[in-house]
């Protein structure tokens, strides 16, 4: 993804494109006894995958595109925004009971760049999802410097491990909070897992409106038995 022709070549979603997803959601809803969360990548994160074309630690190609081709950036973000709105709305219509917008790489931006180049599109998505009536969750890594703005328009802010729950609660007094445990802890043995979990829960004395979770995805080497033990431990925690 480098040129105007590349951006122009991105076609719009249509329902036949995601019939498989709608059917999967309906099948899951018929079987699950717990809420089903739908999700999508956010515009910036999706754009970074398209532009970088490979894993990145600095997102220089994405930023260069954003800074040097602002009109084309707007066109790309607009197309992605429309696709995400359609994708998430369809998930809710099929039975998803909450919707989560993942912006895994937005933390590479300054707060000012986030406000200028990204926030308008995230706001459009969250506003468009309001009529679905389901809770809206936002997640981003390294977003502590812009957490209030990043979470605006959602009911739930999902956190990485770089900010304490107490600090997040001060910034977001009216949001539900989710996450915050560093996934790397899962590889350190049960005593370390339990200790970090205790510290995390103690940092938020009033845990109403808090959903325990990791601060990013499950570490691929994580022991499933340790994950089950962790879930049981949190459920039994005073």
Q: Where are the beta strands (DSSP E) in the chain?
A: 37-41, 98-103, 136-140, 156-159, 176-179, 210-211
Q: Report d(CA 37, CA 198) in Å as an integer.
A: 26
Task: Reply yes or no on domain 1-134 having CATH 3.20.20.210.
Answer: yes
Residues 6+ apart with CB under 8 A from 234: 197, 201, 212
Longest CA–CA span in the chain (Å) reads 58
Q: Is the alpha carbon torsion for 113, 117, 119, 120 positive or negative? A: positive
What are residue 101's phi and psi, to 5 degrees? -105, 115
Q: Which residues contact 91 (CB under 8 A, 6 or more apart)?
A: 21, 22, 25, 38, 39, 40, 99
Domain residue limits, the chain: 1-134, 155-238
Q: What tens-digit pLDDT sequence spans the chain (238 residues)?
A: 779 999 999 988 888 999 999 999 999 999 999 999 999 999 999 999 999 988 888 999 999 999 999 999 999 999 999 999 999 999 999 999 999 999 999 999 999 999 999 999 999 999 999 999 999 999 999 999 999 999 999 999 999 999 999 999 999 999 999 999 999 999 999 999 999 999 999 998 888 899 999 999 998 889 999 999 999 999 998 7
Determine the 3-state secondary structure of 175 from DSSP.
coil
Token pair recorded at residue 167: 């600090």
What's the chain's Rg over C-alpha atoms? 19
Three-class SS of residue 38?
strand
Measured CA to CA, the distance from residue 2 to residue 70 in angstroms comes to 13
Q: What strand order describes the sheet that includes 210-211? A: 37-41, 98-103, 136-140, 156-159, 176-179, 210-211
């Amino acid at each position: 993804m480098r040129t105007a022709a590349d951006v122009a070549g991105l076609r719009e979603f249509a329902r036949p494109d995601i019939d498989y997803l709608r059917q999967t959601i309906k099948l899951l809803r018929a079987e699950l006894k717990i809420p089903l969360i739908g999700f999508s990548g956010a515009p910036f994160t999706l754009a970074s995958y398209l532009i970088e074309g490979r894993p990145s630690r600095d997102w220089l190609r994405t930023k260069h595109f954003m800074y040097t081709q602002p009109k084309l950036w707007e066109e790309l973000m607009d197309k992605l925004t429309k696709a995400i709105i359609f994708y998430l709305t369809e998930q809710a219509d099929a039975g998803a009971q909450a919707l989560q917008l993942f912006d895994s790489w937005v933390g590479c931006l300054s707060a000012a760049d986030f406000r200028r180049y990204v926030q308008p599109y995230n706001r459009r998505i969250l506003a468009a999802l309001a009529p679905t009536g389901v809770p809206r969750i936002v997640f981003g890594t390294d977003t502590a410097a812009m957490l209030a703005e990043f979470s605006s328009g959602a009911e739930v802010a999902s956190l990485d491990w770089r900010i304490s729950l107490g600090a997040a609660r001060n910034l977001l007094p009216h949001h539900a909070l989710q996450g915050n445990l560093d996934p790397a802890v899962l590889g350190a043995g049960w005593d370390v897992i339990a200790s970090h979990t205790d510290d995390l829960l103690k940092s938020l004395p009033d845990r109403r409106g808090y959903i325990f979770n990791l601060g990013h995805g499950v570490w691929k080497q994580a022991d499933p038995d340790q994950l089950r033990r962790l879930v049981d431990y949190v459920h039994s925690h005073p």
